[in-house]
Structure 1
């Protein structure tokens, strides 16, 4: 499995730039230095474990930054300084593929990543997280990933990767909406629009069946692509496209709250490393992961509201979710969901999600 992962990393470097989930206000933004300070009161204790925790977003306003900072605070506090944590906010890798490679090489201890990369290493089941209209709300998403469904997916990932990847927490990157050169309320309104999408095959199938034209554009190049009419529209969460100011372009100023994707991101650790720890050490890390996950989600939800306010204040036009024909979009998504779970023998997983309330 390790050899397979290593062989596929080079091919994934380009793919990772296409999934964009936020970041700094411009590619030229200064890169924050890694944070290495030990929690107050713990400096006199020699660490037993030195952890490197990273994500690929350079903006310290990003929820990931708040999440890993909370991990550091709690891990160093509950361990009494026996764990030391170094944080990298976009300084260990420019994209998720580089971070995953660092994790598999032992150059990172824990990383935040989208699930999609695992489809390339023999875990097609994780593309279930990419199915659109799978969740109805953040509350539904939380109950599903924190319940039987989430536990089952953790087991699948650990088993299929030889314990190379252990899910330490399910994080969010918000709920994704469409923004473009015109408002869309129904699938018919999107007919013929070029739309920058994530690279997931199930998501591209959905937008094709809506009538739009899925297009690949690197996240860092999307502002220019919208500005220069390379694409008519894109889809992402308010915080991500607000931080990149996509809504200030002519092809980004009409936001349509499709709420098609309550996103899942993974806080990952090498499961074999985790299993090598003592029960006490595992307990410290588990406690910190729970606190970090709660913090990251809390920031995501708060920023969704404030980012929407900022987008509107900047002059963007918003079609509220209540004014959308969501049922028409769901009617396209549900057959894709059902085909996926049939092909991957995951009907029971879908049932777990649908019956979670």
Structure 2
């Protein structure tokens, strides 16, 4: 992670910029004396890794700036949909946000869907090697350039390993046939679930508990810390979890670079240090919570089983290759595969 953040500081196209109420003072060098940053994620519960990461960002930024930089953290209060947060980032109503590759690709940057490909990563070690290395740097540059400096990547977070959960366990891939599953309804992720036999269905995250309880959807997919916190495993259609491990998720810590690329070097250094600390804090929190919430699910009566993932991977491999070709980033996919 340090390598990535150092490259962010060095390369002008990745320099951090943040909005909010900046007041210019008369200190040495003419740098701003104060800066307020609005940082937001879409999870309504503060007991999750996103919140832990942003609280660490707040702590380090305020401490290292002796209080000159103020960070205001919002847990779902600026929007429970990532599309809302992306729009607020563009408009300047938020300065630091967490988004998934799927929502970023909806802004016209198709290459970011690379990190959403199913079975792209085989372990957390593999994932960290990729996002903290050359591939992560290259994708960050693509995002910055193609967004016309609207978006800059400050770091890569994770939302855990995603698994299937639904009204019945999966004993084989054939059990997915005809089942509705709450997931992305377009793009590579949707294509994958369709080929696996399921029917991708759109349900807002905040409405998913009710949708599972009332049989609106048969199933969903997510990581333990997120759907267990929302008690999805206690719903009629959320009792059974099958550990498909189809996605070691990537989340993007973004800032709006267009507004404030002119921040002082001191401010940039403070914010980059805060970003580095937040990355480490969020990942550690997630890794710990995955086991914690899996055990909670078992104690609550959820049924968890493993499955042979080979048929799932066999579907994903050609889809990933085709997607990378369509995005013009076959070289990045090759680099990821070579790091396994």
- TM-score class, shorter: 0.7 to 0.9
Counterpart of 1:39 in structure 2 is none
Q: Which runs of 5+ in 1 are unaligned?
A: 1-45
Counterpart of 1:318 in structure 2 is 304
Q: In the TM superposition, what are the counterparts of 1:292-331 in structure 2 within 5 Å?
A: 292-320=278-306, 324-331=307-314
For 2:277 and 2:92, locate their aligned partners in 1 and report how far apart those are by CA, in whole Å. Answer: 24
Counterpart of 1:17 in structure 2 is none
Verify: 1:245 aligned to 2:224, yes or no.
Answer: no
1:233 counterpart (196, 203, 219)? 219
1:350 counterpart (321, 333, 337)? 333
For 1:55 and 1:194, locate their aligned partners in 2 and report how far apart those are by CA, in whole Å. Answer: 27
Q: Which runs of 5+ in 2 are unaligned?
A: 1-31
8 Å contact kept, 1:53–1:86: yes
For 2:74 and 2:169, locate their aligned partners in 1 and report how far apart those are by CA, in whole Å. Answer: 38
Q: Which has the larger displacement, 174-183 or 86-95?
A: 86-95
8 Å contact kept, 2:49–2:286: yes
For 2:60 and 2:116, locate their aligned partners in 1 and report how far apart those are by CA, in whole Å. Answer: 31
Q: CA deviation at 1:275?
A: 2.2
1:211 counterpart (197, 211, 214)? 197
Q: TM-score, normalised by structure 2?
A: 0.87
8 Å contact kept, 2:42–2:76: yes
SS in 1 for 2:40: strand
For 2:259 and 2:94, locate their aligned partners in 1 and report how far apart those are by CA, in whole Å. Answer: 11
Counterpart of 1:201 in structure 2 is 187
2:62 counterpart (52, 62, 76)? 76
Residue by residue over 1:61-104, the C-alpha shift from the partner in whole angstroms, topping out at 9 and shown as x without a partner, is 01111111101110111122221111212222232222222211
For 2:245 and 2:227, locate their aligned partners in 1 and report how far apart those are by CA, in whole Å. Answer: 14
For 2:260 and 2:248, locate their aligned partners in 1 and report how far apart those are by CA, in whole Å. Answer: 29
8 Å contact kept, 2:89–2:95: yes
Verify: 1:153 aligned to 2:136, yes or no.
Answer: no
Counterpart of 1:53 in structure 2 is 39
Residue by residue over 1:36-66, the C-alpha shift from the partner in whole angstroms, topping out at 9 and shown as x without a partner, is xxxxxxxxxx942221111121211011111
Structure 1: which 4+ aligned runs deviate by more than 6 Å? Answer: none
Q: In the TM superposition, what are the counterparts of 1:8-19 in structure 2 within 5 Å?
A: none
SS in 1 for 2:106: helix
SS in 2 for 1:59: coil
Residue correspondences, number: 309
8 Å contact kept, 1:186–1:329: no
For 1:128 and 1:86, locate their aligned partners in 2 and report how far apart those are by CA, in whole Å. Answer: 31
Q: Which has the larger displacement, 125-134 or 274-283?
A: 274-283
RMSD: 1.5
8 Å contact kept, 2:166–2:239: yes
For 2:47 and 2:33, locate their aligned partners in 1 and report how far apart those are by CA, in whole Å. Answer: 29
Q: In the TM superposition, what are the counterparts of 1:15-34 in structure 2 within 5 Å?
A: none
C-alpha change, 1:305 and 1:116, in structure 2 (3 Å) is: same
SS in 2 for 1:214: strand
C-alpha change, 1:356 and 1:273, in structure 2 (3 Å) is: farther
Q: CA deviation at 1:228?
A: 2.0
C-alpha change, 1:94 and 1:235, in structure 2 (3 Å) is: closer
User: RCO higher in 1 or 2 (8 Å CA, sep ≥ 6)?
Assistant: 2
8 Å contact kept, 2:81–2:205: no
Q: In the TM superposition, what are the counterparts of 1:65-144 in structure 2 within 5 Å?
A: 65-144=51-130
Residue by residue over 1:15-40, the C-alpha shift from the partner in whole angstroms, topping out at 9 and shown as x without a partner, is xxxxxxxxxxxxxxxxxxxxxxxxxx
